[in-house]
């Protein structure tokens, strides 16, 4: 909640907290593990297509890190989703078409269970984005994203989370 409150107060454009900080928190609650068990970092996506420069993104990253207590600041990764197409293929070896919003990024995650994001709204309500629904996340079922080809990224992600949450179910391929 400290991360969510800090992000809300910064009023980043079209922001969401997503990835492991969300689905792994759910899995920890379902399995009775400590709340931060297995969570490596807090992934923050925002969308600003006005200035796609690294310099503009870096300014925003630094403002987020300054807004968080030291222990949390070192675990937050902030990325402008409007820029992902500029570096994704070089890093992951897959083409990546430009996005139109932060929520659209969720449709590209490797697993349906991973494609869940939240935002703390100014009125203290939580908005949730889950283009494939919440069932796989809450049933601890790892299904590949039906809109993507199976890749090494998916296999690595499955192997990584299975080490920490062996209760997960994975369909036979």
Shortest CA distance to 48 belongs to which of 15, 2, 82, 76? 82
Residues 2-164, CATH architecture: 2-Layer Sandwich (3.30)
In tens, the pLDDT along 129-155 reads 999 999 999 999 999 999 987 777 788
pLDDT tens, residue by residue, 78-117: 999 999 999 999 988 888 999 999 999 999 999 999 999 9
**Which strands, in side-by-side order, build the sheet including 117-120?**
76-80, 42-46, 16-18, 117-120, 126-129
Domain chopping of the chain, boundaries: 2-164
């Amino acid at each position: 909640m400290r991360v969510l409150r800090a992000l809300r107060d910064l009023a980043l454009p079209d922001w969401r907290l997503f990835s492991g900080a969300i689905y792994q928190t759910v899995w920890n609650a379902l399995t009775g593990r400590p709340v931060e068990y297995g969570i490596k970092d807090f992934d923050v996506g925002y969308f600003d297509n006005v200035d796609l420069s690294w310099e503009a993104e870096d300014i925003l990253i630094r403002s987020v890190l300054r807004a968080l207590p030291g222990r949390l600041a070192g675990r937050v990764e902030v990325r402008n989703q409007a820029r992902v197409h500029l570096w994704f293929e070089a890093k992951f070896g897959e083409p990546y078409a430009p996005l139109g919003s932060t929520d659209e990024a969720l449709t590209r995650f490797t697993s349906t269970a991973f494609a869940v994001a939240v935002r703390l709204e100014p009125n203290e309500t939580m908005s949730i984005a889950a283009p494939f629904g919440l069932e796989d996340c809450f049933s601890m079922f790892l299904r590949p994203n039906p809109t993507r080809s199976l890749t090494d990224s998916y296999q690595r992600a499955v192997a990584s989370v299975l080490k920490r949450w062996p209760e997960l179910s994975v369909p036979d391929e």
